[in-house]
């Protein structure tokens, strides 16, 4: 299986990362353990979560996903060295706070280590930018934690290009840890959120990109068609995602599905493979709520689009722009 590296780090992993936001939300602890077993047993290793997952579920307060991963590691201590654990801080945690100040990062790291039942975090990420805290303070704090062995590498999520460039400059000038990765909202349907200045900065600095929402909130699973009612309970049934179901997008889904089907693949496989064809993409975050879905996601990494196929996809996108 192909292995990739993240930025200038020594982290090596298969091209699919597991999105742990489902743990403690749409997957209970027992199911989550089965999912993690299926993922690791298939030869994959990169598990991504955050301290704030999944506080949005009624009754949750944040930390549920990390706690589930921690209980799995407690049951399977030999698997700790088989997984790369990535988590984040910076979003608002009840009774804890938010941001990227030294105090908040240090408390967040200790809390995450405890919940995850581990002594180190392979990739610790700034979940979102904090413009109220100097970036040198943030990076210096990460430097202390790396030296202490609690963190191995750091990454960023939801940063704008100028701030990512500023962080890279500070890291170089001050000899501090650099962001080895960026998690942007990026997929075949929503390219403008990343392509342009942000993509250019990642290429310039050799920052590995780990896209989230690779299936455009479910639109690129192939489940949604023109003339069909959106199933209740799905993400696209929520009002805030209604724009994704515009006629233009549904027509594009139809065209892309035809392209994939003609080659013996699914739309999901096309969505993942297209992202993995981008030179700066290190891994694609894909969630699952069952071991069967894990298999579908990991299988999707097996299609390598040829230059001719990529050109045809570009033509389809241009025709439906």
Catalytic residue among 53, 142, 179, 186: 53
212: which residues sit within 8 A by CB, 6+ positions away? 19, 157, 183, 184, 185, 186, 285
Query: Is 142 designated active site?
Result: no
Give the count of beta carbons closer than 10 Å to the beta carbon of residue 231.
11
What residues are annotated to the active site? 53
């Amino acid at each position: 299986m192909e292995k990739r590296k993240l930025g200038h780090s020594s982290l090596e992993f298969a091209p699919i990362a597991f999105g742990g936001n489902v743990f403690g939300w749409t997957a209970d602890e027992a199911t989550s353990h089965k999912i993690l077993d299926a993922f690791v047993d298939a030869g994959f290793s990169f598990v991504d979560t955050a301290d704030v997952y999944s506080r949005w579920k009624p009754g949750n307060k944040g930390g549920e996903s990390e706690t589930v991963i921690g209980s799995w590691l407690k049951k399977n201590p030999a698997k700790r060295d088989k997984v790369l654990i990535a988590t984040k801080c910076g979003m608002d945690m009840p009774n804890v706070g938010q941001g990227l100040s030294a105090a908040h990062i240090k408390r967040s790291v200790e809390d995450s280590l405890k919940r995850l039942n581990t002594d180190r975090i392979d990739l610790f990420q700034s979940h979102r930018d904090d413009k109220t805290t100097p970036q040198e303070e943030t990076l210096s704090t990460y430097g202390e934690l790396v030296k202490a062995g609690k963190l191995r590498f750091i990454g960023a999520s939801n940063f704008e290009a100028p701030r990512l460039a500023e962080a890279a400059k500070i890291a170089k000038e001050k000899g501090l840890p650099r962001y080895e990765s960026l998690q942007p909202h990026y997929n075949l349907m929503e390219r403008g959120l990343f392509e342009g200045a942000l993509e250019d900065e990642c290429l310039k600095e050799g920052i590995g990109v780990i896209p989230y929402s690779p299936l455009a909130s479910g639109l690129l699973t192939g489940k949604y068609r023109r003339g069909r009612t959106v199933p209740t309970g799905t993400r696209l049934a929520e009002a805030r995602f209604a724009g994704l179901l515009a006629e233009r997008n549904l027509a594009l889904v139809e065209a892309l599905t035809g392209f994939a089907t003609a080659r013996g693949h699914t739309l999901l496989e096309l969505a993942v493979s297209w992202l993995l064809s981008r030179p700066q993409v290190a891994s694609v975050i894909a969630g699952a709520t069952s071991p069967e879905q894990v298999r579908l996601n990991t299988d999707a990494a097996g299609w390598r689009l040829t230059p001719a196929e990529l050109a045809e996809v570009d033509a389809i996108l241009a025709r439906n722009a």
